[in-house]
Amino acid sequence: MVRRRPRHSRPSPHRSWMIAAVVVVGVLCVGVVVAVARGFSSAPKVVSAPAQVAPAVQTGQAASAEQTRQPASEATSKPTALKTTTPVQPAAAAVAPLPDFSAKRYLGNPLHTVPNSKHEIALTFDDGPGQDTGRVLEILAEHKIHATFFVVGRRASKLKSAVSDMAAQGHEVGNHTWTHPEPGAVSEADLAKQFDRNQKLITDLTGSTPRFARTRGGKFTDATMANLTDRGLILALWNIHSNDVEPSPSPEQIVKNATAGATSGSIILLHETNPNTVVALPAILKELERKGLHPVTLSQLLADGSRASN
């Protein structure tokens, strides 16, 4: 008789243990593979961040605020040219020193002319700086001429760069009070304080202490003269007035007024705040050249002068 094998025979214990071991090992392998895969997916992408910024820079598109701040080394290496248009530091570092002369020789008396043998005259501009100061400086530079600017402190405090530009281009800056008061409108003590305040501002902006002062309309008292002398300031007036104040004459008339009586050692008064004066300036310089007269700063005129004449 043939015996049939039972359909549901139980596996041996040894075989069951082997199956279980294989299952466990398989589970462990799967877990390791999953863990490694997750680790790669969560690693920091150091290449992707620059790739996002580069297109905006290369194509000229506007970058976000965060992009413009990164990296810091690039932001700090770019030139900031706009900061130089409003100078904070004195401009005198690049300015040649004004010529020396004996100040004591001229203190205590109003200065009108300084005769010399070099056919020099002094061009002086009052009441600035103003909206036309830049154009005046351009014209003087084109003709290689240096002048003296008597600036009003209140205006200079609002147009600091204009005053610094005057000194940087070799011009001389003089003291024309702080508020440009009418003669007698303030006390002598207050007027002295105005000179002091403006003196400090000009020194800070140009790096050079003003040597000359001028009152409005050239008016002064003995007390005014004493206060200026105590401060080492020479009262610089003029012997030729262009009469370019209101009501303003035509540019042609200003040219005639400023040059007709000019001789060696003359001090000519102009106002840079008058648009007609700015128009007339090139013709004034041309006419002075025709007469053989060379405009210089007041300091240069005194350094080359033989004597002061009142």
Q: Dump the DSSP string for 116-176.
A: -TT-EEEEEEEEE--TTHHHHHHHHHHTT---EEEE-HHHHTT-HHHHHHHHHTT-EEEE-
Give the active site residue among 132, 204, 271, 304. 271
CA-CA-CA-CA dihedral for 24, 30, 36, 39, to nearest 10: -100
Give the active site residue among 126, 127, 132, 244. 126
Helix, coil or strand: residue 184: coil
Helix, coil or strand: residue 263: coil
- 114 CB contacts (<8 Å, ≥6 apart)? 122, 265, 267, 301, 302, 305, 307, 308, 309
119 is catalytic: no
Distance CA 128, CA 173 (A): 10
Distance CA 103, CA 264 (A): 21
Which helix (DSSP H) or strand (DSSP E) does residue 234 occupy? strand 234-235
127 is catalytic: no
Residue labelled with tokens 């050079």? 208
Distance CA 170, CA 141 (A): 10
Of 71, 30, 73, nearest to 53 by C-alpha is 71
Q: Dump the DSSP string for 43-62.
A: S--TTHHHHHHHHHHHHTPP
In terms of DSSP H, where are the helices of the chain? 13-42, 48-59, 65-69, 72-77, 133-142, 153-156, 160-168, 188-206, 222-230, 251-259, 275-290, 298-304
Catalytic residues, by residue number, are 126, 271
